[in-house]
Amino acid sequence: MEQNYVLLGTLVTPLVGAILALVSAHSNRLQRSIGVLAGLIAWVFCTALLAQVHSSGVQIYALGNWKPPYGIVLVADALGGLFAFMVTTIMIGGLLYTFHSHDKCMTYPAFVPLFLLMEVGLIGAMLTGDLFTLFVFMELMVLASVSLTAISDDHYGLEAALKYILISSMGTLFLLLGIGALYATFGTLNMAEIAVTLLTGERPLLAPASAIMLLCAFLLKSAVFPFHFWQPDFHTTAPTPISAMLSSIVVKVGVYGIFRLVTLLFIEEAPLLERWLSTLGIIGILFGSLGALRTYNAKRMLAYSTFAQIGFILVGIGWGQPLALIGAIVYAFNHAFIKSSLLMLMGVVASYTTTKTANFADISGIGSKLPPSLGWLVLIGGLSLAGIPPLNGFISKLTLIQGGVERQDWANLIIMVAAGILTVMYMVRAWQRIFQQNPLPGTVAAKDEGDSLFAPFLLICVCLLLGTVLAEPMIQLISETVRQLGDPQIYISAVNLPALEP
């Protein structure tokens, strides 16, 4: 197989964009323009890459032309290509939001370069074929997102950033221990090399232990119970486009890692891991839904909601059957668009207040002074999150429930349906408090101008398309992805090449 330079371009483009944005620190508008342009080019590369994967099979690029496992290899299979496409699409929305935002932190010279470096970390984590490089990309993502939260206009931003960097250090420890155990056992960190050894050889002593350590690392990155407590503060205080990225695609890095664990690396240990995933997923669904129902802040409500949505995905992975895995990937894909648009919309609401607050006590009834279209977009996004047809959230829940019916896990299905009802309750109640009731004595004053609706409007349109005309192509694409995951030899044979063509 030839070296795929499109695969390399997906990573190089935002990295070059970050460098150019840093050099252009004298002009904030030029920086934002470079950011959007780099995001668009990276999206074009990822779209072309996804098309190549589904037409020609797994694509690779060996850095320095070193044959795996001696060199670092980038690998784009159906799962990696799909997740990279999701990341670049959502990142365009975040970069567009910065163009018409009034937050002071977005005028800092470091903001756009850090944003693009976060994109490099996200894409790299999805497309690397090496566990240590996965660690490097994940840490790049963490450091960039922590820095962006620390410079937030919210005076609690630095506190939230410090909390996350301390908790993330625990995840880093788990990840490095798991990587160290695998390297001590196999002498390589190439995922295909490890997978083929585990599939064909004897089970080494450290294999189950490394599986547990890696699972803990990925659960922490996804803010899964009991590693969840850093997320509400972090997502609430971060600048709006950053909180939208954190709650929609950054948490998906852990989900991606879990897919790799149970479908490629530790297939023999997968039944045990899946039982834990189902249990933690159900706990997350209950905790997240009830927490969102009782919280005091609109952005914090959506952060708690992410606990529940990730829980749905984990239950689907835990069921382990092809139909359930299709449901889990559909849910992860659709959730990225729904959650990013909702957090941007709540950021727009906060931008119209004189104190930039999203506390319900301060914004109850403020909707009468805001653009009417904002209220309708929040309602559509909330109904999509709850799974009301014909929105894409309905497709997510339907495919996942079909997987549960096939598994005949009726107890967990009942809990998931009940959690969907709770989602309707807290989203509709939030919409009513902001846009339907009269202002309260404590409602803050509204400004004449706020952030632009352009970026969240585009993402809401994507939600509508994914729930209607694009629903069938999306299901077919993800079905092919699951078929490829079901045969790890496809990934292994593509990476373990006898030689690389010049």
Distance CA 325, CA 481 (A): 10
Is 278 buried (19+), middle (13-18) or exposed (0-12) by CB count in 10 A?
buried
- Asked if residues 88 and 39 have their Cβ atoms less than 8 Å apart, the reply is yes
| Residue whose entry in the numeric block shows the structure tokens 């999805």 | 126
The backbone torsions φ and ψ at residue 243, rounded to the nearest 5 degrees and listed phi first, read -60, -35
CA 200 distance to own-chain centroid: 33
* Sign for the pseudo-dihedral over CA of 389, 393, 398, 399: positive
Q: What is the pLDDT of residue 502?
A: 38
CA dihedral 473, 474, 477, 479 (to 10 degrees): -110
How far is the first Cα of the chain from the last one, in angstroms, to the nearest whole number?
A: 10
pTM: 0.92
d(CA 367, CA 390): 25
Digits of tens for pLDDT over the chain (502 positions)?
567 889 999 999 999 999 999 999 888 889 999 999 999 999 999 999 999 998 888 898 888 777 776 778 899 999 999 999 999 999 999 999 988 888 888 889 999 999 999 999 999 999 998 898 999 999 999 999 989 988 888 888 888 888 888 888 888 888 999 999 888 888 888 888 888 888 876 677 778 888 888 998 898 888 787 777 767 777 788 888 998 898 888 889 999 999 998 998 888 888 888 888 999 999 989 888 888 888 888 888 998 888 889 999 999 999 988 999 999 999 999 999 999 999 999 988 888 888 888 888 888 888 888 888 888 999 998 988 888 888 888 888 889 988 888 888 888 889 888 888 898 999 999 899 888 888 877 778 778 787 888 888 888 888 888 888 888 899 999 999 999 998 888 888 888 754 444 3
* Cα 374 from Cα 376, distance rounded (Å): 5
Q: Is residue 353 classed as helix, strand or coil in its secondary structure?
A: strand
Which are the contacts of 279, defined by CB distance < 8 A and separation ≥ 6? Answer: 318
| CA proximity to 129, closest of 210, 195, 75 | 75
